Amino acid sequence: MVRVTGPIAASSGITDVEAIVGSTSAAAEPQVVGSSVFVDSKVGDVNGKPVYAGTFLAPMAERLRAQAAELKRPEWEKFARTEIERELDLFIEDELLRAEALASFTPEQKQGFLGFMDSLSKKMQSESYGSRALAEKRAEETDGKSFDEALRRRQNDELIKYQLGEQIYRRVNISWRDIEQTYNRYYDTFNPPPTATFRMIQVLTDKTDDIEAVKSRLAAGEAFKNIASGKINIYKAREGGLDTLEMKGVKEQAKIYLNPKLNEAARTLPQGDVAGPIELDGSVAWITLESVDAKTLSLYDAQLRIENVLREGRANEERKKYIDRLRARASMSKVDEMRDRLVEIAADRFYTLGSAAP
């Protein structure tokens, strides 16, 4: 026999108590309502830090869900695998750099870094008038994260930046000789041939009235382009007789037009002047030089651009080598297995819910 008492009677003291294993309630066992719901799953570890599917997939959820509504299952899985593999590589790289930075800190550096992060936290709150609640709201609206998550992300960014600066960027040096050799190697890229813009009016020889009309209109000062755009011109009238031609070498020696007479006139023609009428086979032509565009860049003007390109290239090479070394000695789950598991979970979460076509 079991006697059940309430809190009032119990407050007076209970004697002769017997402990019984099992339920003493007559109520039925709780029933499961609805189907089970996947909450989260650990897919692996990177240097002891667990990788949870829900946390990892959250930033790319919208992309995966949107593609699920448009792609068939095989195409979607290919897309998801590419996205997840890229993000997983970045996650591993960031985690390795973060851990390496913390491990390399001296006690003084670690204390200084903690002080820096504390001042950063206060600064972020001061930007919200010193209110933690407003700072939380602001972080949620701008980054979709809590204040602590945003601060943690900033901390990781600073650690990664510090480690890359110490191990990579400070060690990449570009000499003047490197810059000069690169400029000479790509001289034609920095100094392409000038581009000349000509316009031509061409009239058949037997159209004497048209020839005289062109002469009169030019003599009267009418714009060359207007005449070249009219029906009187049999050469590219829709484009106003426009020719954009490359001039290799010195203008006076360049091969601009195939016709020797036109080519000779184009070589010696000052900008803005008109040459013609020029007797051709069965026609008469006039040409004018509108402009010459010479996009040259001296070594002095190109040096900063060259240095930046060389520095970025070498830094990327050194960064890859450094990350490969960190990966080789890191303790982590197999990347392929983590990726495949994440793709499976993403399919369960996003494809079956967002897909319009199985």
Domain that holds residue 251: 193-293
Same domain (yes/no): 246, 153: no
- Helix/strand number for the chain, H first, E second: 15, 6
At 302-321, the pLDDT tens digits run 999 999 999 999 999 999 99
> Does 160 score more than 90 pLDDT?
no
Question: 155 and 217: one domain?
Answer: no
Task: Please tell me the least confidently modeled range out of 28-32, 146-150, 215-219, 283-287.
Answer: 28-32
| Angle subtended at Cα 244 by Cα 243 and Cα 245, rounded to the nearest 5 degrees | 105
Does any domain span residue 73? yes
Asked, for residue 108, whether it belongs to a domain, the answer is yes
Residue 149 located in a structural domain: yes
What integer pLDDT is reported at residue 17 of this predicted model? 59
How much is the pTM?
A: 0.58
- Amino acid identity for residue 216 in this structure: S
| 242 and 162 together in one domain | no
**334-347: pLDDT as tens digits:** 999 999 999 999 99
The verdict on 159 and 58 lying in the same domain is: yes
Instruction: Assess contact for 12 and 296: CB atoms under 8 A.
Output: no
Q: Residue 249 carries which DSSP code?
A: S
Same-domain status, 54 and 157: yes
Rounded-to-integer distance, Cα 17 and Cα 2, Å: 10
Return d(Cα 97, Cα 269) in angstroms, integer.
63
157 lies in the same domain as 206: no
Residue 305 lies in a domain: no
Using a 10 angstrom Cβ sphere, with 0-12 exposed, 13-18 middle and 19 or more buried, the burial of residue 159 is buried
**CATH code: domain of residue 336:** 1.10.4030
Give the separation between CA 340 and CA 165, rounded to whole angstroms.
33
Higher-confidence position of 352 and 44? 44
User: Are residues 221 and 166 part of one domain?
Assistant: no
Q: Is residue 121 part of a domain?
A: yes
Distance of alpha carbon 74 from alpha carbon 39, whole angstroms: 25
Q: Does a structural domain hold residue 22? A: no
The Cα 183–Cα 306 span in angstroms is 8
> Does residue 204 sit in the same domain as residue 271?
yes
**Unique residue bearing structure tokens 């949620």:** 140
**Strand intervals (E) in the chain:** 42-46, 49-52, 195-204, 242-246, 274-280, 283-293
Establish if 27 belongs to a structural domain: no
In whole angstroms, what is the distance from residue 273 CA to residue 292 CA? 13
Residue of 130 and 251 predicted with greater confidence: 251
Same domain as 146, residue 109 = yes
- Kindly report, residue by residue over 20-66, the tens digit of the pLDDT: 555 555 555 656 555 555 567 888 998 888 999 988 998 889 999 99
Q: Is residue 265 part of a domain?
A: yes
Q: Are residues 126 and 51 in the same domain?
A: yes
pLDDT beyond 50 at 358: no
For residue 136, the one-letter residue type is E
* Cα(59)–Cα(61) distance, integer angstroms: 6
Query: Could you tell me if 153 and 244 lie in one domain?
Result: no
Structure tokens at 336: 């392929």
- Domain of residue 285, CATH code: 3.10.50.40
Domain count along the chain:
2
The strand pair at 42-46 and 283-293 is best described as: unpaired
Query: Which of helix, strand or coil describes residue 334?
Result: coil
Do 244 and 206 belong together in one domain?
yes
Q: How far is CA 3 from each of CA 15, 20, 24, 29, 310, rounded to the nearest angstrom? A: 12, 12, 9, 20, 85
